[in-house]
Amino acid sequence: MSSSDIFIGETIGTAILILLGGGVCAAVTLKRSKARNAGWLAITFGWGFAVLTGAYLAGGVSGAHLNPAVTLGLAIQGGTAWGDVPLYLASQLLGAMIGAVLVYAVYYGQFHAHLTDPEIVGTKSADEGMVDQTAAPKAGPVLGIFSTGPEIRNGVQNVVTEIIATVVLVL
């Protein structure tokens, strides 16, 4: 497989993965969305479809790693040449950024409406409400569209949970 195949496949596949996955999270989270409060099942099926679509699009072109952890795991096992790893990682990063920008562009009006609603953010601006969860606690879930975090913030418990989850994933 050529370098251009890897670049195109991983960039497009990862962009589609993030566009569809982040899109379903935005649809379920944002106040003006018709899918608002559709629940975890909608998010689960949406992300499943996102992975399926990204893998289907990139599978025949680049192998559909779509994730740096998959690329590194395959390289360690000898399934991917170490010389190709930087290209895979750069392509995945670029694709993820493109996908996130597209989610933000598609839902821009809804992000703005959600984050300027006084009921949600109080007196904060949209930018302040998106990053300052302590001053605008109801705006915090918007961060979940682009990132994850623990529901219960307890340093020791969160570290133990991460260790257990990592062990399970490594097995």
- CB proximity list for 72: less than 8 A, separation 6 or greater: 85
C-beta separation of 49 from 20 below 8 A: yes
User: Percent of the chain scored above 90 by pLDDT?
Assistant: 53
Angle at 140 between CA 142 and CA 100, to 5 degrees: 30
For 51-82, write each residue's pLDDT tens digit. 999 999 999 999 899 999 999 999 999 999 99
Q: What is the CATH number of domain 3-170?
A: 1.20.1080.10
**What confidence score (pLDDT) does residue 137 get?**
52
The whole-number average pLDDT for the span 101-130 is 73
- Domain ranges (residues) in the chain: 3-170
- CB proximity list for 50: less than 8 A, separation 6 or greater: 16, 17, 18, 19, 20, 21, 24
Q: Between these two residues, 31 and 57, which has the higher pLDDT value?
A: 57
Q: What is the pTM of this model?
A: 0.77
